[in-house]
Amino acid sequence: MLFMITYAFAPDARETVQDRFKKTGGGPGEGVKMLGRWHAVGGHGGYVLAETSDSVALGKWMQEWTDYLEFDITPVNDDESVMKVLGA
């Protein structure tokens, strides 16, 4: 299943978040594939597209960052899946 994840952090957490990202790369653990990540230019957040069938693995990845980042996670479908929904 695909998940669109938006993340945001407070401006006063910027240095801490950037330092952690530089040290860890912010990648997912086993069971989650990150398909892409985009950072808002001049902002304090961004977007991640991830794929997994394991919600626990997704939760563990997010848990590594919830002390500074706020997440909104939305299951999404690609065009091929939507066509199946539409019966095409």
pLDDT digits (tens, 9 = 90+) for 32-73: 999 999 999 988 999 999 999 999 999 999 999 999 999 999
The answer, as to whether pTM is greater than 0.85, is yes
Number of domains observed in the structure of the chain: 1
CATH (domain of 7): 3.30.70.1060
Residue 15 has pLDDT above 90, yes or no: yes
Confidence of residue 88 (pLDDT cuts 50, 70, 90): confident
Cβ–Cβ under 8 Å, residues 52 and 3: yes
User: Residue type for 12, please?
Assistant: D
For 43, the domain range is 2-85
Q: How far is CA 14 from CA 33, 51, 57, 68, in A?
A: 25, 27, 26, 9
Q: Cα–Cα distance between 49 and 4 in angstroms, integer?
A: 5
The percent of residues above 90 in pLDDT, for the chain, comes to: 97
